[in-house]
Structure 1
Amino acid sequence: MRKIPTSRVDRLLGSMGYGSRAEMARMAKAGGVVLDGADLTDVSKRIAVTPDLPSRMDIDGEPLDPVPGLVLMLNKPLGMTCSHKEEGALVYDILPDRWRRRDPAISTIGRLDKQTTGLLLLTDDGDLLHRVISPRRHVAKVYRAALARPLVGTEAALFASGELVLEGEDKPLAPAALEVVSPTEALLTVTEGRYHQVRRMFAAVGNHVEALHRERMGGLTLPPDLAPGQWRLLTPEEIGSIFTEPTAP
């Protein structure tokens, strides 16, 4: 049985970006920390850090943020960068400001380039992050690509062959599955995460990707009601589905 982690209240709230221990102590004395319907004035108290804590604890009249171990799905908009430090619009700008001060920090699970939209996962769980991006896991990622020129018909066999070598590289790509949607649109399923891989694959066959959108990771699909720029937390079942095979669209 997995041991339930515990933490001092002030340390927990500080790690979640609410403020320093001194600030948390002052807030608690003023009645700003409520646990199970009662004021919690002693923030040195240790409590169990369970997933249901946000439904039991209020901070300044608002439910506690998700506890460490969160995983969220974001529909990444066009033009945003998956970085903590680069100039311009960042995907982290979409999240609550306080979440930037969380420790451990929230990071993207892999990246989508600035001009790619769609399914992006973020977490503060380092172990999960490395499991998802590990080459040994072969997590399938499905992209919808809009192309500048019609497909010629030979791309699917080449991508599936495991023999395609991208420009500037020596190691062939793992087999990838191409599904033709229209002469200038296709779904491509890859299990690697090389730099600009999908764009470079189509460039290798003389085409150009005009728009790229990630729809699925493993068995997890971006829901149609999650608009660009919106996000939501994943359930444990959804997190597990990342490691399952994608189903047919």
Structure 2
Amino acid sequence: MRLDKFLAHHLGASRTIVTKELKAKKVTVDGEVIKSGAYQLSPKQIVHYDGYQIEQVTSQRYFMLNKPQGYVCSTDDPDHPTILYFIDEPIPEKLHAAGRLDLDTTGLVLLTDDGKWSHRITSPKHHCEKVYAVTVEQPLGIELIDIFNNGIQLKSEKSLTKPAKLHIIDDFHAELTISEGRYHQVKRMFAAVNNHVVALHRKQIGKVILDIPEGEYRPLTQDEIDSFN
């Protein structure tokens, strides 16, 4: 993360003021005076401003991200770029996704460093609903509404899926609401009824609705954070 952005965030100051403070030699990183705002700060470095240490992370953090295709939701992957590419925050690797999306699935990802909070989203016992926009290869029949509502037997699974709400928009587009998170669940549910998902986009988790452009992120509001309590 750039040093000037870090300082602006933690000091509540403008970039202009931060630049002046840097030029005045008031900032050190690991004991060395740094005058360039473009300096890339690493997570373990110690920053002092005017003699006082600034902690890199002071509280738990909660964000939403609109994930594009081609990014994985892990924080470290040797083969694919991760969603942390989009997150310009101190110590981004401390964040984790509260409910992952596949490489080719787009849409809402919640990121946090609060493990208890994310557990309330991902734990099956909390029945947190997720809403997906689905595009399929074969036409959708009206009979699928009852089939999905009654639960579907997935390949290699012992139990039926929990009731899911299928809203058919047209022959090839639907909105699906599920309350569990089995491996590749949405794709496997449609495969079980002899269809193939060609595009999948998560629109909502619980009461949190995706409202930002693809590739962007924002902090959650306090109401959004509290909605999972």
TM-score (norm 2): 0.76
Q: Distance in 2 between matches of 1:200 and 1:191?
A: 15
Distance 1:92 1:168, change over 3 A: same
Cα shift at 1:174:
0.5
Cα shift at 1:235:
1.3
Q: Distance in 2 between matches of 1:42 and 1:118?
A: 41
Which residue is 1:74 aligned to? 65
Are 1:131 and 2:123 an aligned pair? no
Cα shift at 1:68:
2.6
Secondary structure, counterpart of 1:144 in structure 2: strand
Cα shift at 1:170:
0.8
On the 8 A contact 1:220/1:242 being kept in 2, the answer is no
Distance 1:242 1:142, change over 3 A: farther
Secondary structure, counterpart of 1:216 in structure 2: strand
On the 8 A contact 1:119/1:214 being kept in 2, the answer is yes
Are 1:187 and 2:175 an aligned pair? yes
Which residue is 1:206 aligned to? 194
Which residue is 1:110 aligned to? 99
Name the amino acid aligned to 1:99: I
Aligned length: 190
Name the amino acid aligned to 1:241: S
On the 8 A contact 2:68/2:215 being kept in 1, the answer is yes
Cα shift at 1:242:
4.3
TM-score (norm 1): 0.71
Q: 2:205 aligns with which of 214, 217, 230?
A: 217
1:3-57 deviations in whole A, cap 9, x for unaligned?
xxxxxxxxxx99x95544xx43xxx2xxxx2xxxxx4x243xxxxxxxxxxxxxx
Question: Percent same amino acid among aligned pairs?
Answer: 38
Distance 1:71 1:79, change over 3 A: same
Distance 1:77 1:100, change over 3 A: same
Cα shift at 1:236:
1.2
Cα shift at 1:152:
1.9
Cα shift at 1:95:
1.3
Which residue is 2:80 aligned to? 88
Q: 1:239 aligns with which of 195, 219, 225?
A: 225
1:133-159 deviations in whole A, cap 9, x for unaligned?
111111100000011111122111011
| Root-mean-square deviation over aligned CA pairs | 2.3
Q: Distance in 2 between matches of 1:177 and 1:98?
A: 39
Q: Distance in 2 between matches of 1:17 and 1:237?
A: 32
On the 8 A contact 2:64/2:111 being kept in 1, the answer is yes
Cα shift at 1:99:
2.5
Cα shift at 1:67:
3.4
Q: Distance in 2 between matches of 1:65 and 1:74?
A: 21
Cα shift at 1:96:
2.2
Distance 1:66 1:202, change over 3 A: same
Cα shift at 1:233:
0.3
Q: Runs of 4+ in structure 1 displaced over 2 angstroms?
A: 16-20, 64-68, 96-101, 240-243
